[in-house]
Chain A
Amino acid sequence: MKRHRCPDHYRVLSAALLLCMAAPLSQAQEGPGGALLEGFAPLEVHGFGELRGGYRTQNDRAAKDVSVMESRLQLEVSTFNDWADFKYKGDVWADGVTEQGHYDARETWVFARPTDFMDIKVGRQVLTWGTGELVFLNDLFPKDWQSFFIGRDMEYLKAPSDAAKVSFFSDLANVDVVYTPQFDSDRYITGEYVSYWDAARQRHAGSDARVHSDRPDQWFRDDEIALRLYRNINNYEWALYGYWGFWKKPAGQAPSGAAAFPDLHVYGASVRGQVGPGIGNAEVAYHQSADDESGRDPAVDNSEMRYLIGYTQEVGRDLTAGLQYYVEQMLNYGPYRQHLSGRWARDRYRHVITLQLTQLLMSQNLELSLSSYYSPSDEDAYLRPSVNYKWTDNLTLEAGANIFLGDHPHTFFGQFEDNTNVYTAVRYSF
């Protein structure tokens, strides 16, 4: 979490100063232009200011009533010259949950097309691939589940990577290689914003029992490589994936008792394209828990197979519906059961059905949407209804909820039941 949280007020202040300095710089385009900006396109400066507040709808002994409360400024500065594109995007916000100021650089990168067959993007960047809608099999780039569950904008589901992405293009196939020199974990549930089931203590926990982790952080040794080989054949998008790194959220225990990130290798494939009147997608991934392939080590999570099949179709005017079926299969279930020592056990198969509905109304200025996950095996569910209205081209109003339902305190979504929240936000974009 060290990159995410930055309680050091000086760093927050200096970042804010930097952001403020960028604004007058953009005026430079009008004037004669300094030598510094010679050969560069005029700086483009954009961003938004946002107020967002949300409350838990029930009492959570392990967390505050406030689920999200923040005033946020995002600033984005971009330009380009003959050989490259440059972009910076950063957020500063005052956070009522942590009662601190925060700064997060979301993008700081240089992009170049040195040859006809190659693209390079180096720096902090947001990365996504794979075919799942809010379900990730081969996309091992960092996610921010905390932001997602407390009702921040969808943009924040993706946490940035500090990485180099090199892409090669040919008629035969295209290749993306992403090298992350220092492991970027998910911004997983730690108890800070969202309370959770603490399996070690067998109880519901929150900010009173924050997850302490032993995260691999050696530069160039604790690194990650992600690979995608893809090709478009008659607009059917085929892809093969590989990943060599670590489980993105704690998936084991270090001897010290801290949560650990064991080695993970992932191999997978996907296809997406037109099927009948809609878009079909299928994806599969083998998550090889490389520190313990036998599954006998109770301190390391099982290897898994993950399967996804989905279909999206326009079912009415400006109304889109998407249905997905997703399965996680534990591959060494026997040894896993043996080592549980009386603790609650996961099922061998976790089945999840997702349904997405999006309706646009009032000249597409009003969006009603519902994302829902339902697991018949875990007997739990997660619903995300939201309403988004563009009052003007600049001003957007939003309200929504994150509803967790479950019969058991320890299932994937059920453990978050007390975090069920409603939120509202107003954003001014410029």
Chain B
Amino acid sequence: MKMSLFIVALSLGVSVGSAAAADSDGLTVEEIVQQANHMALYQGQDGTGKVTMVITDKQGRTRQRQFNMLRKDDGDADQDQKYYVFFQRPADVRKMVFMVHKHAALAQDDDRWLYMPSLDLVKRIAASDKRTSFVGSDFLYEDISGRNPAEDTHELVRMTDDYYVIRNVPKQPHTVEFAYYLAHIDRTTLLPRKLEYFKKGDRLYRVIESSEIQSITAQENGKTVTYPTVTKSIARDLENGSRSEMTFSRVRYNIGLKESLFTERYLRRPPREAIR
């Protein structure tokens, strides 16, 4: 009985989605969501960048995080990815490495490792909840590694001059803290510009905004291309009054990172790409 109700609910969600897909620059809502997902996470075969985060609490006290990030995609299907994060600040986590083999399949948890250089210790991280804070900031782990679009149903609620506004409802509400979120997706670049998270009763409690976009020049198959990239974003927690500002610098794409960088060898001793 429960099962059949679930299936009904699921098919309703899908039909609402496709009904709303009507005319949006010739794109269906699923196409918009897939492209936005690609733009946010999968541009280029690989990428590196330097990340600075400033976390400001309600009292105005600030904390800083700084790390270098390497990323490599498995194939071109916008699915699995590997991440390598080399911490530089604060002092107590300096030179620690966080490595993730991200699995797009819904049933499969990401594999995560942490290397602690003072103990020469390679730790497997058991965390399976992706909606916990990333490095103590207002960004969640899932904001960094990306939320799989297949976890939500999508509905185009309106179109402004600049944005598609898409309402995303979790298929498994008990696994997340939000009831739904609205994504404002740029109609030109298809980059998500603003995400608004609501709890039950349409209560807005969390906002992430992309406040700066830069066009990054890169080589793709021998041609020069540009990737519009979010270089500054701000996450605000309206419940506890804190905000985190994340700045990307020195962004590069398609540098030919080796697959082996994302193994225990480089976890224990970082590659030059990560240290610099």
Is the pair B111, A235 in contact by a Cβ cutoff of 8 Å? yes
Is the pair A365, B136 in contact by a Cβ cutoff of 8 Å? yes
Is the pair A119, B133 in contact by a Cβ cutoff of 8 Å? no
Is the pair A364, B275 in contact by a Cβ cutoff of 8 Å? no
**Helix, strand, loop or mixed for chain A's interface?**
strand
Is the pair A128, B57 in contact by a Cβ cutoff of 8 Å? no
Any A CB within 8 A of the CB of B187: no
- A429 / chain B contacts, CB cutoff of 8 Å: 90-92
Of A190-198, A199-207, A271-279, A339-347, the segment with at least 4 beta carbons within 8 Å of chain B is A271-279
- A235 / chain B contacts, CB cutoff of 8 Å: 101, 111
Query: What mask results when residues 316 to 329 of chain A are scored 1 for a CB within 8 Å of chain B, else 0?
Result: 01101010000000
Is the pair A394, B109 in contact by a Cβ cutoff of 8 Å? no
Is the pair B94, A46 in contact by a Cβ cutoff of 8 Å? yes
Any B CB within 8 A of the CB of A363: yes
Known contacts A126-B118, A126-B119, A126-B120, A313 near B89 by CB under 8 Å = no
Could you say which of A128, A274, A393, A394 contacts B120, with CB atoms under 8 Å apart?
A128
Of B29-37, B197-205, B248-256, B261-269, the segment with at least 4 beta carbons within 8 Å of chain A is B261-269
Tell me, in angstroms, the Cα distance from A129 to B264 when the chains sit together: 11
List residues of A (157-192) whose CB comes within 8 Å of B's CBs: 157-158, 167, 169, 174
Any B CB within 8 A of the CB of A57: no
Q: Please give the distance in Å from B105's CB to the nearest CB on chain A.
A: 13
Chain B residue nearest in CB terms to A390: B92
List residues of A (66-113) whose CB comes within 8 Å of B's CBs: 80, 85, 111, 113
Tell me, in angstroms, the Cα distance from A232 to B61 when the chains sit together: 43
List residues of A (348-374) whose CB comes within 8 Å of B's CBs: 363-365
Is the pair A155, B118 in contact by a Cβ cutoff of 8 Å? yes
Is the pair A393, B128 in contact by a Cβ cutoff of 8 Å? no
Is the pair A363, B55 in contact by a Cβ cutoff of 8 Å? yes
Could you say which of B63, B125, B133 contacts A393, with CB atoms under 8 Å apart?
B63
List residues of A (189-245) whose CB comes within 8 Å of B's CBs: 230, 232, 235, 237
- A126 / chain B contacts, CB cutoff of 8 Å: 118-120
Is the pair A158, B90 in contact by a Cβ cutoff of 8 Å? no
Chain A residue nearest in CB terms to B131: A317
Q: Please give the distance in Å from B276's CB to the nearest CB on chain A.
A: 8
Tell me, in angstroms, the Cα distance from A167 to B266 when the chains sit together: 12
Total contacts A to B, CB within 8 angstroms? Answer: 96
Is the pair B132, A318 in contact by a Cβ cutoff of 8 Å? yes
Q: Please give the distance in Å from B46's CB to the nearest CB on chain A.
A: 19
Is the pair B275, A232 in contact by a Cβ cutoff of 8 Å? no
Is the pair A320, B126 in contact by a Cβ cutoff of 8 Å? yes
Tell me, in angstroms, the Cα distance from A10 to B183 when the chains sit together: 66
Any A CB within 8 A of the CB of B8: no
Is the pair B124, A272 in contact by a Cβ cutoff of 8 Å? yes
- A127 / chain B contacts, CB cutoff of 8 Å: 120
- A119 / chain B contacts, CB cutoff of 8 Å: 265, 269
Could you say which of A113, A129, A169, A393 contacts B64, with CB atoms under 8 Å apart?
A393
Could you say which of A46, A274, A313, A363 contacts B136, with CB atoms under 8 Å apart?
A363
Query: What mask results when residues 126 to 137 of chain A are scored 1 for a CB within 8 Å of chain B, else 0?
Result: 111100000000
Tell me, in angstroms, the Cα distance from A119 to B275 when the chains sit together: 17
Could you say which of A279, A390, A393 contacts B126, with CB atoms under 8 Å apart?
A279
Is the pair B63, A232 in contact by a Cβ cutoff of 8 Å? no
Chain B residue nearest in CB terms to A78: B95
Any B CB within 8 A of the CB of A402: no
Any A CB within 8 A of the CB of B221: no
Known contacts A390-B92, A429-B90, A158 near B119 by CB under 8 Å = yes
| Beyond A167-B265, A232-B263, A278-B126, 17 extra complex contacts between A and B, CB < 8 Å | A46-B94, A80-B275, A85-B269, A126-B118, A127-B120, A128-B119, A128-B121, A157-B119, A235-B101, A274-B111, A277-B109, A281-B124, A365-B63, A390-B92, A392-B61, A394-B90, A429-B90
List, sorted by A's number, 30 A–B pairs whose CB atoms are closer than 8 Å: A111-B269, A126-B118, A128-B122, A155-B118, A158-B120, A174-B264, A230-B264, A235-B101, A237-B124, A237-B264, A274-B111, A277-B128, A278-B126, A279-B125, A312-B124, A313-B128, A314-B128, A317-B129, A318-B132, A322-B126, A363-B136, A363-B137, A363-B242, A365-B63, A365-B136, A392-B61, A393-B64, A393-B90, A394-B91, A430-B91
Chain B contacts to A: CB under 8 angstroms: 55, 57, 61, 63-64, 89-92, 94, 101, 109, 111, 118-122, 124-129, 132-133, 135-137, 242, 260, 263-265, 269, 272, 275
